[in-house]
Amino acid sequence: MATALKIAPPEDKISNFVSRTHRILINGKWVEAASGKTFATYNPATGEVLARVAEGDREDIDRAVKAARAAFETGRWSQLTPSERGRAIWKLADLLEENLEEFAELESLDNGKPLKVARVADVPLAVDLFRYFAGWATKIEGNTIPISVPYAAGAKFLAYTLREPVGVVGQIIPWNFPLLMAAWKLGPALATGNTVVLKPAEQTPLTALRLGELFQEAGFPDGVVNIVPGYGETAGAALAAHPGVDKIAFTGSTEVGKLILQAAAGNLKKVSLELGGKSPNVVFADVDLEDAIAGAASAIFFNHGQCCCAGSRLYVENSIFDKVVEGVAEHANKINVGSGQDEATDMGPLVSAEQLNRVCGYLESGISEGAKAVVGGGRHGDKGYFVKPTVLVNTTEKMKVVQEEIFGPVVTAIPFSDPAELVTQANDTVYGLAAGIWTRDIQKAHRLASQLRAGTVWINCYNIFDAALPFGGYKQSGWGREMGHEVLEQYTEVKAVCTAL
Ligand code: NDP
C-alpha cells in the first residue's frame, strides 16, 4: 500500500478533471444547475480562472434535500447493517488513499496550499477520519437503564435507549481545508446512518466533487450523499433554512454561524457550529527555547494562518520576549512563499482576492494604530494572493489585530509578567477554540490548561489533530464538537424505550 501512495496520477487526469464543467451530484446523478448557470473558481497563485462549476441555488438544494429524504425514508442507508455501512465508509477511505496524490494536487490547485502539505496532512487525515468513523458504525449503542418510578410501586420495567440517525443533514463547509472539512462532516453523519446534502465553499469545490465520484465508486446508494456547489448567500442559505433538513452542520465564520442559527429556527433543526478563533499561545521563560520558537511559528504560519485554531496571539514571558520574537521572525524570514504546486514552497497564497484584501486591511489597521511589523507587514509580490508572514509587536489589547480573527499569516506578540493577568488577557476574547502552552513545568501547564476557556489546549505542541480527539469551541467559537465519539451525539437522536414487565 505504501508504494501505491507514491504513484503520481498522470497529469492529464488532473487537467481533464479540472477543465470539465463541474456538475451537481443529486440522487446519484451529475446534473446541471436548474438555472443552467455556472461560476468560475480561481487559481489563488495566479488569479486566473481555474475551473467552471454548476451554480447550485434554492431549486437544486430543494431537489438534493428531497433525494436525501427519499434515501433516508427508504432506509437504503440507515437500514443497512452497521457492518455494511462501516465497510462502505472503509472502502471510500481506501479509494481516497489510492488517489491520494490526485487529491493533494487538486487541493493545492484549488486552495493554494503547498502540494507537499496536502500530501502529508490534508489527504491522509481525511483517509484516517473515514476509517475511524467506519469503525464507529458498528458501535453506536444505547444503554439499559434501571428505573424506579415512585408512583408505580412494585411495578417492573425494562428501559433502554436507542441511538438513531437524525435524518437528513445539511453540511456547509469552508475553503481552508476543503477535503478534510468534508471528511469531518461526512464521516460521522454517514456512520450513524444519516443522509447528507453537502455544500462546499465557492472558492474550493473541486475535492468535494471528486469525492462525490468516489462515493459512487464505493457503491454508496443513490441519494445518500448529495453535493451542491454554489454560493453561501443562495445555496448555503437555502440549505440552512430548508424545512426538509433535520440538522445543519456548519464550519466557517462566527458571523455566518449566527445567520445559520437564524435560518435554522424555521423548523428548529438541530445545529452544530465550528466557528472562528483568536487563540492564545503562551510561552513561559522556563521553556526549551528552540522548540517553543519553532512551535509558535508553526502555530500561526501553518496553512498560511488560515486555520480557525491558529495561534494568533502569542503571549511571551517578559524575560525571553525579545529572543522569542526574534526567533519567530527568523522562521518567518526563512519561509519560502510561492505557488503551492512548487515542491520548494512552504507557504502558498491566501485563498482569494477577498482574503488578500481582508488580511492586508488588518495589517494596515494595526500599523496605523501603532503596531510594528518586525517582519512582513503586507502583500508579497503583485500577482496571486500572497501575504508575507508577519510578526506584529507594540500592540494593545483593544486593537482589531488583537481582538479579531485575521485568518492570515499574522501573529501579534505580546509580553507578560504576571501569570494571573495573563489568564485574564488570554481569555479576553469572544472566541474559545484553542490555546497553546509552552513550559517545562507540568504543574504550571496543567493549571493554566484548566484556566483557559478553550475547546482544545495543546501543551508543548500545536495543531495536533486526530480523528479520535474532539475539536470545537467554547463561547462564540461554536456549538458541539467535531470528531471523537463526542461528535456522534450531534448526528443521533436518543430514543428511550420503556416496557412494563
Ligand atoms: P464564511 O463563513 O462566509 O464561509 C463558510 C461557508 O459558509 C462557505 O461554504 C460559504 O459559502 C457559506 N456561507 C456564506 N454565507 C452563508 C449564508 N448566509 N448561509 C449559509 N452559508 C453561507 O467564510 P468566508 O469564506 O467569507 O471567510 C470569512 C472569514 O471567515 C475568514 O476570514 C475567517 O475569519 C472566517 N472563516 C473561518 C473558518 C473556520 O474554519 N472556522 C473557515 C473559513 C472562514 P461560499 O463560500 O460559497 O460563499
Per-residue pLDDT of 294-311, as tens digits, reads 999 999 999 999 999 999
**Cα–Cα distance, 104 to 111 (Å, whole number):** 10
Q: What angle do CA 276, 280, 284 make, to 5 degrees?
A: 165
State the distance from the centre of ligand 1 to the C-alpha of 171, rounded, in angstroms.
12
Task: Decide: 237 in ligand 1 pocket, CB within 6 A.
Answer: yes
Nearest CA among 414, 438, 409 for reference residue 424: 414
Nearest CA among 385, 415, 410, 390 for reference residue 400: 410
**Cα–Cα distance, 368 to 375 (Å, whole number):** 16
Range 470-498 average pLDDT: 98
Query: Does residue 495 have a pLDDT over 90?
Result: yes
Tens digits of residue pLDDT in 221-269:
999 999 999 999 999 999 999 999 999 999 999 999 999 999 999 999 9
Helix (H) or strand (E) holding 12: helix 11-19
Residue nearest to atom 25 of ligand 1 (CA): 174
Task: Decide: 348 in ligand 1 pocket, CB within 6 A.
Answer: no
State the distance from the centre of ligand 1 to the C-alpha of 17, rounded, in angstroms.
25
SS3 445: helix
List, in sequence order, every residue forming a beta bridge with 118; answer none if it has no partner.
Answer: none
State the distance from the centre of ligand 1 to the C-alpha of 318, rounded, in angstroms.
37
Q: For the ranges 4-18, 50-64, 108-122, which has the lowest average pLDDT?
A: 4-18
Query: Does residue 434 have a pLDDT over 80?
Result: yes
- Residue 421: phi and psi, rounded to 5, are -65, -35
**Cα–Cα distance, 259 to 118 (Å, whole number):** 31
Task: Decide: 275 in ligand 1 pocket, CB within 6 A.
Answer: yes
Range 57-68 average pLDDT: 98
To test the pocket of ligand 1, the residue of 253, 261, 309 to mutate (highest count of ligand atoms within 8 Å of its CB) is 253
pLDDT on residue 461: 98
**Predicted confidence band of residue 7 (pLDDT cuts 50, 70, 90):** low
Residues 6+ apart with CB under 8 A from 95: 214, 217, 218
Tens digits of residue pLDDT in 390-407:
999 999 999 999 999 999
How many other β-carbons are positioned within 10 Å of the β-carbon of residue 344?
9
SS3 58: helix
* Assigned C-alpha cell, 146: 434501571
Residue nearest to atom 11 of ligand 1 (CA): 232
**Predicted confidence band of residue 436 (pLDDT cuts 50, 70, 90):** very high
pLDDT on residue 9: 74
Nearest CA among 384, 243, 385 for reference residue 306: 385
Q: Are 272 and 247 in contact (CB under 8 A)?
A: yes
State the distance from the centre of ligand 1 to the C-alpha of 298, rounded, in angstroms.
24
Task: Decide: 174 in ligand 1 pocket, CB within 6 A.
Answer: yes
To test the pocket of ligand 1, the residue of 172, 242, 255 to mutate (highest count of ligand atoms within 8 Å of its CB) is 172
Pairing of strands 280-283, 313-317: parallel
Query: Does residue 70 have a pLDDT over 60?
Result: yes
List, in sequence order, every residue forming a beta bridge with 315; answer none if it has no partner.
Answer: 282, 414
Query: Per DSSP, which regions of 192-349 are E strands?
Result: 195-199, 225-227, 247-251, 270-274, 280-283, 313-317
State the distance from the centre of ligand 1 to the C-alpha of 478, rounded, in angstroms.
14
Query: Which positions are catalytic?
Result: 274, 308
Query: Does residue 5 have a pLDDT over 60?
Result: no
Task: Decide: 276 in ligand 1 pocket, CB within 6 A.
Answer: yes
What integer best gives the mean pLDDT of the chain?
97
Q: Are 227 and 209 in contact (CB under 8 A)?
A: yes
Query: Does residue 3 have a pLDDT over 90?
Result: no
* Assigned C-alpha cell, 117: 502539505
